[in-house]
Amino acid sequence: MKKIINTNKAPKAVGPYSQAVEANGMIFISGQIPVDPATGKIVEGGVAEQTEQVLKNMGAILNEAGLSFANVVKTTCLLDNMDNFVPMNEVYGTYFTEQMPARAAYAVVKLPLGVMVEIEAIAVR
């Protein structure tokens, strides 16, 4: 059985998907982009500012599920350009400070709304 996790403290899904889904104690968080849920707009600045907003959005979803970043076991980071890896990684490292999750990072041709970074995650209870 699955449970849909949704919060107004993270951007609403803009398509036929959920912010997160829980199944058998595992929480699958959809890719988050740097949309400020208060304004519905992409945050200004570079990849560091965008990564910060992405992780704030992810944190809001984790919080809604009663979890924290410590529960995250796997992330996938999508970047518009691998030149953005270092600044993304610096911000990422402030959210994952111990018992780091497994991770993959890829450069892709294009991300939704022209953003620089998107991150998805899997967490466990």
pLDDT digits over 9-40, tens only? 999 988 899 999 999 999 999 999 999 999 99
- The 10 Å Cβ neighbour count of residue 44 is 10
Is the confidence at residue 51, as pLDDT, over 90?
yes
Give the per-residue pLDDT at 14: 81
Give the tens place of pLDDT for each residue, 63-97: 999 999 999 999 999 999 999 999 999 999 999 99
Give the per-residue pLDDT at 82: 97
- The 10 Å Cβ neighbour count of residue 124 is 13
Supply the pTM of this predicted model.
0.96
Taking alpha carbons only, the member of 102, 124, 108 closest to residue 33 is: 108
Average pLDDT over residues 43-58: 98
Domains annotated for the chain, with CATH where assigned, are: 2-124 (3.30.1330.40)
Give the per-residue pLDDT at 79: 98
